[in-house]
Amino acid sequence: MDKLVIWPAYLDKTKSRQDGRKISSKLAVTSPTLSEIEQAAKRLNLNPIAEKDKAYPKEWWEVSGRVLVDKVKPKSLLLKDIAKEIRRMRAEGK
């Protein structure tokens, strides 16, 4: 099974589409952390692999890390699922 790369910028409500956000700002979350993305992917059974030492190419000077997840459906749908899960986790206070 192939892996997809999930950068925090893809889900970040504070970023514009031009800065790398891939989902609508309605669905996006504010400043998602690498561990939140990893935990959400784990809860969705996507076998996440966190790579903390990577920098998003558009912001090469800032090491934000990335998470590799199993490609079980199109990337846009996975991003929405992960964002929803992060929102759920934040609501639960985790």
Nearest 5 degrees, angle CA 74-CA 79-CA 29?
165
Residues 46-74: pLDDT tens digits? 999 999 999 999 999 999 999 999 999 99
| Number of structural domains the chain divides into | 1
pTM given for the model: 0.92
Give the bridge partners for 66, in sequence order.
51
Q: Is the pLDDT of residue 94 over 90?
A: no
Residue 23 burial by CB count (10 A; 0-12/13-18/19+): exposed, middle or buried? buried
Give Rg (Cα) of the chain: 12
* Residue 38: domain span: 3-92
CB atoms within 10 A of CB 25: 13
Q: What is the CATH number of the domain that holds 88?
A: 3.30.56.30
